[in-house]
Amino acid sequence: MTVIVLCALAAWVAQRAAAVFHDGVRPFLLDFVQGRSTRRATATVSFGLSAGFVFGLGAPLALSTGVLNPWLVFLPTDVLGLVSPRRWLAAALGAAWGAVVVFGVGGADSLVHKLPVDFVTAMQQMATPILHLFALFPVLAVARQFGRLSGALCGVLELALTVMSLKLWPKIFPGSIAMAAGVLVLVGLALHRDTGRRGTADTGPGRPAGAEEDPTAGLFRAGALRLRSHLPLLMLLGAGVCLLCQAHVFGGGEASGFLIAKGDHGGAAQVDFYRALGFIPLIATTALASGAYGVAGFTLVYPVGYLLPGPWLALAAGALLFAAEVMLLSWAGRALGGLPSVRDASGQLRNAITETLHLAVLLGSLAAANAMGGGPGILIVGGLYLFNEATGRPVTRVAAAPAAVVAGGVLLNVLYWMHLFTPVAR
């Protein structure tokens, strides 16, 4: 019921262009709100950007972990809300999608486990590379922004902390402390560079008295006012997302989904908190420019929800957190404008997360292919992935490998029924 109601609310909010989940769709909402683009055109953009993530990443991850994720739950509600000419229709379609998610994932999971080639169980092989390689994303970000030496030192620090964690704190996810140290190193270096620039600027000539205001300031002001006008609705959305996270049936990222499936809610909270640091500047900027917020806000609601002990507290915390985020958006935009290195660090974190997960998901998908079909499984899954690369990536890169595992699993079952393939012994 929580999923169904939340999907209805998310689609209703998207229909009003008050919030969408996909960061790439949000900038297009400004033209829609101002009447320069049609509802159908905006929904088409949303579908084009989202379809690959829904079927290539969201559905396979939900099947392999048994935990829902935002790509499966919220990307379709973006499309359904934007395409609906009436609010009641958006809510009805969102609720219907929520029902499909709840009953469809469970039914598909039960069905696949009965097949001769159980590719869902095989996809659990993705957990190890995703969990352990994900911890390296701060190292990539440091190396890209501050050079090889800084990146190498950060990598050595993370490796040492990981080894210490395995030895001294075996019950703690070993990558959590390493990730924390890596992110602190990146933020510390960025702040050091920004404060150095500010000190140099303070000794130079002041701003001319007649200097013009930043041309984006007026646009950001209008966006902030529009967001505040939707504050009660956004608070309801925050309450619902936090409640879903508190139920521990939802994970905000690839790594956190596997951690929640293992019952490591503290580790999942850490992973999603560090992930949020890479997306806060992007979400803040696009929200202020378009006047539309994110369905999950700054995504800080994920770790908060994982750690809360009860549903009523989650409802209150989610609503208050979204209220605070919306009210502080203008300040966040101004603060980020004065910290260019911190803003760049956020972009480097996003890119590093994408690259790290691409490698981890690819390795995990090949391991799953081997588990379900041995050499033929690797041939089919690897071949589908390479075909996607050769044809211009019609399926986005990070989603191509899991989608190939599902397609490969279906094909191997067909080959089995044709007496052309013998499943790998379980």
How far apart are the C-alpha atoms of 276 and 187, rounded to whole Å? 13
User: Angle at Cα 126 formed by Cα 155 and Cα 300, nearest 5°?
Assistant: 65
How far apart are the C-alpha atoms of 18 and 334, rounded to whole Å? 22
Chain segment 276-288, per-residue pLDDT in tens: 888 888 888 888 8
> What is the band of 218 on the pLDDT scale with cuts at 50, 70, 90?
low
In a domain, 424, yes or no: no
Domain housing 6:
2-131+214-417
> What is the band of 202 on the pLDDT scale with cuts at 50, 70, 90?
low
How far apart are the C-alpha atoms of 370 and 239, rounded to whole Å? 42
pLDDT-above-70 percentage for the chain: 94
How far apart are the C-alpha atoms of 148 and 154, rounded to whole Å? 10
How far apart are the C-alpha atoms of 212 and 160, rounded to whole Å? 50
Task: Spell out the residues 6+ positions from residue 329 whose beta carbon is closer than 8 angstroms to its own.
Answer: 224, 227, 284, 287, 288
Q: Does residue 216 surpass a pLDDT of 70?
A: no
In a domain, 349, yes or no: yes
Q: What is the pLDDT of residue 198?
A: 64
What average pLDDT score do residues 1-16 get? 95
Q: Which amino acid is located at 406 in the chain?
A: V
Chain segment 63-73, per-residue pLDDT in tens: 888 899 999 99
Q: Side-chain half-sphere of 231: how many Cα atoms within 13 Å?
A: 13
CB distance 14 to 75 below 8 Å = no
In a domain, 181, yes or no: no
How far apart are the C-alpha atoms of 261 and 256, rounded to whole Å? 8
Strands 293-294 and 19-20, by their bridges, are parallel
In a domain, 342, yes or no: yes
The distance in angstroms from the start CA to the end CA of the chain is 36
What is the average pLDDT score of the chain?
88
Strongest mean pLDDT among 181-190, 230-239, 284-293, 351-360: 230-239
Q: What token pair was written down for 242?
A: 């936090």
Burial class (CB in 10 A: 0-12, 13-18, 19+), 400: buried
Predicted TM-score (pTM) of this structure:
0.86
Q: Give the number of domains in the chain.
A: 1
> What is the band of 417 on the pLDDT scale with cuts at 50, 70, 90?
very high
In a domain, 99, yes or no: yes
The larger pLDDT score, comparing residue 250 to residue 277, is at 250
Q: How far is CA 190 from the centre of its chain?
A: 24
The larger pLDDT score, comparing residue 311 to residue 34, is at 311
> What is the band of 308 on the pLDDT scale with cuts at 50, 70, 90?
very high
How far apart are the C-alpha atoms of 25 and 283, rounded to whole Å? 11
In a domain, 13, yes or no: yes
φ/ψ (deg, to 5) at 28: -75, -20
Q: Side-chain half-sphere of 115: how many Cα atoms within 13 Å?
A: 23
Q: Does residue 214 surpass a pLDDT of 70?
A: no
In a domain, 141, yes or no: no
Q: Does residue 298 surpass a pLDDT of 60?
A: yes
Chain segment 128-172, per-residue pLDDT in tens: 898 888 889 999 999 999 999 999 999 999 999 988 888 888 777
What is the SS3 string spanning the chain?
Answer: CHHHHHHHHHHHHHHCCCEECCCCCHHHHHHHHCCCCCHHHHHHHHHHHHHHHHHHHHHHHHHHHCCECHHHHCHHHHHHHHHCCCHHHHHHHHHHHHHHHHHHHHHHHHHHHCCCCCHHHHHHHHHHHHHHHHHHHHHHHHHHHHCHHHHHHHHHHHHHHHHHHHHHCCCCCHHHHHHHHHHHHHHHHHHHHHHHHHHHHHHCCCCCCCCCCCHHHHHHHHHHHHHHHCHHHHHHHHHHHHHHHHCCCECCCHHHHHHHHCCCHHHHHHHHHHHHHHHHHHHHHHHHHHCCEECCCCCCHHHHHHHCCCHHHHHHHHHHHHHHHHHCHHHHHHHHHCCHHHHHHHHHHHHHHHHHHHHHHHHHHHHHHHHHHHHHHHHHHHHHHHHHHHCCCCCCHHHHHHHHHHHHHHHHHHHHHCCCCCCCCC
Q: What token pair was written down for 48?
A: 């084009």
How far apart are the C-alpha atoms of 255 and 233, rounded to whole Å? 30
CB distance 292 to 29 below 8 Å = yes
Q: Does residue 87 surpass a pLDDT of 90?
A: yes
In a domain, 179, yes or no: no
